[in-house]
Structure 1
Amino acid sequence: MLDIMLPHYGELTLLKIAVESIAAQTDERWQLTVMDDNPVERDTGIPEYFAALGHPRVRYLRNPRNLGVTGNFQQGVDLATAPFMIIMGCDDVMLPRYVERVHALIDAHPEAVLVQPGVEVIGADGAVVRTLADTTKRRVYAPRFAGTVTMAGEELAVSLLRGNWLYFPSLVWRTEEIKAVGFDPDLKVIQDLKLILQLVTRGGTLVADDDVVFQYRRHGESLSASSAVTGNRFSEAREFFLAAAARMDAHGWPRAGRAARWHLSSRIHALTMLPAAARQRSTGSVRVLTRYAFGNPRPR
């Protein structure tokens, strides 16, 4: 079985699309747990939807208190029981062959700790889109391959620290490995990269595939997008990358340490956010973004 853990924070419309895409899988070796982190007093209609759904492999949980994004991610890890799991976005879409394809990849690569299936990006309306961020991921930072590729060790760490080209909500994780590490509760928007790097330094292997079976929804209302405009994301990112550089150096991976220290893709991302911050006349955000983009890569 594949554990599909679905943290939820928003409204019902996109959640229904996500759940229905899971129910339409060609391979039935999956079980879904929805973890609703909406405030308890809010009338969302979501509990009623799942009560009416009555699917034998769908479990709905409503958190008695708000856990926040990282807390809800960790709850998904804690609740998982299948050998492999996914922490899916509540506005994303599984194409019908997702479960079938990832099971085939796991069978072909039993050593895999992480599986990155093929992904296409959709907008708020569900149409496939091409964004600057995703084009850069694919053409600049992602390794070039056809079919399937396996990566591990310092090569993988360097690749991800130059630019994180993975799509977190589509990733399949080996459950025992992610349970052994867990999410850092102090991080809000870069917690996935820290966890992945920890798995890599533990010897984990990534399998990436170009068969598109997942749709990642990108729109401007996400926590990561809003925190990028305000500059909050980059305050967190600077501390993370400098700490990652120290960990990579201590691990004996100097090239990965240098990649973390320079974190060029993250600096470029900050530059792309400057016009939006300027339009909002947020002097503080402009200052944070500028300092991050052009600042010294080494700690003071």
Structure 2
Amino acid sequence: MEPLVSVCIPAYNNAAYIKETIDSILKQTWKNLELVICDDKSKDNTIEVIESIKDDRIRLCKNEKNLGMSGNWNKCLHECKGEFIKLICADDMLRKDAIEKEVRALIEHPKAVLAESDTQLFDLNGKPKGFYKRYKTSGLTDGKMIARKGFFVKNYFGSPVANTFRRSALEEVGGFDTWYTYILDYDFWVELACRGNVYIIHEPLNYFRVRNDSNTGEVMVGDKSDAYVKEHIHLLNKFKDELNLSDADIKRSVAIRKFRNFAAGVYLKLFVRK
């Protein structure tokens, strides 16, 4: 029997898009999966939309109080029962063979703790906005190398929808670091990557909605860039010894991060509608 895969959605006020996200998961070619949705006290009709979808693989958890992003994300992971796990934000989607290809890669390569694929970007109107690609190699790649090089180029791991990981690796890491507000997923991927290899699939197996009113979008186009950079500095110092980062490396990475924030903000303002 195929191993169980847990797909989890941390939901909060996502009534407008969550049905498309759920449908893309339930239509996966990999059938042995559970869909864990943790609603963080949504103020809109997110729960009603979820409950209107009838599928025995869906398990809805209703938080008694709002846990915030990191708290709800960790709640999702805690509720998962599968051997492999994928977390998806409630407005993103998967190609129908995404889980199949990423999980097969992890099964066939026991030293890989994480499997990931390229991302196709869309705006809120469904218009394609390009691609976000993973690290340049294909197949099995050293996780620490990807994490380190990413500090000087871009976050090669991308958003949660692009990644599938082993439960055993999660048990080593323990979950998302609640210190962060904006880049808790980046920290999590680096933590995982430092524990083994990453299997890279250069196919756009997932779809990410680019929006300037998202958590990251508000940082790029708003006044929170300094807070984002502060978290990036914390991330660098956290992995300074493990990834052999010098003080000069940290300064260079911070300068690159500031430039990428500026460039991303310009892109969102000019080309992406709310």
Which range, TM-score by smaller chain?
0.7 to 0.9
Partner Cα distance (2:248, 2:232) in 1: 10
Equivalent position of 1:262 in the other structure: 252
Partner Cα distance (2:100, 2:229) in 1: 35
SS of 1:75's partner is helix
Percent identical residues: 18
Partner Cα distance (2:250, 2:193) in 1: 14
Q: CA deviation at 1:230?
A: 2.6
For the 8 Å contact 2:94–2:205, the answer to whether it is kept is yes
Equivalent position of 2:48 in the other structure: 48
Can you list the C-alpha shifts for 1:158-216, whole angstroms capped at 9, x where unaligned? 22212202222221122232233221212111111222222333x32211111222111
Equivalent position of 1:296 in the other structure: none
Equivalent position of 2:207 in the other structure: 215
For the 8 Å contact 1:77–1:179, the answer to whether it is kept is no
Report 1:1-300 matches (<5 A).
Answer: 1-39=4-42, 42-44=43-45, 46-130=46-130, 138=133, 142-145=134-137, 147-153=138-144, 155-162=145-152, 163-170=154-161, 171-181=163-173, 182-201=175-194, 203-238=195-230, 240-251=231-242, 253-254=244-245, 258-263=248-253, 264-272=255-263
Question: Once superposed, which parts of structure 1, at least 4 consecutive aligned residues long, lie more than 6 Å away?
Answer: 273-276
Q: Show structure 1 runs of 5+ residues with no match.
A: 279-300
Q: Show structure 2 runs of 5+ residues with no match.
A: 270-274
Compare CA radii of gyration and give the structure with the larger one.
1
For the 8 Å contact 1:190–1:237, the answer to whether it is kept is no
RMSD, matched Cα? 2.7
Can you list the C-alpha shifts for 1:105-127, whole angstroms capped at 9, x where unaligned? 11221221111123211111223
In the superposition, relative to structure 1, how do residues 265 and 84 fare at CA in structure 2: closer, same or farther (>3 Å)?
A: farther
- Greater shift, 224-233 or 183-192, is seen at 224-233
Greater helix fraction, Structure 1 or Structure 2: 1
Partner Cα distance (2:156, 2:243) in 1: 23
TM-score (ref. length: structure 1):
0.78
Partner Cα distance (2:41, 2:77) in 1: 19
TM-score (ref. length: structure 2):
0.85
Q: CA deviation at 1:34?
A: 1.0
SS of 2:17's partner is helix
Partner Cα distance (2:265, 2:102) in 1: 38
Partner Cα distance (1:43, 1:245) in 2: 38
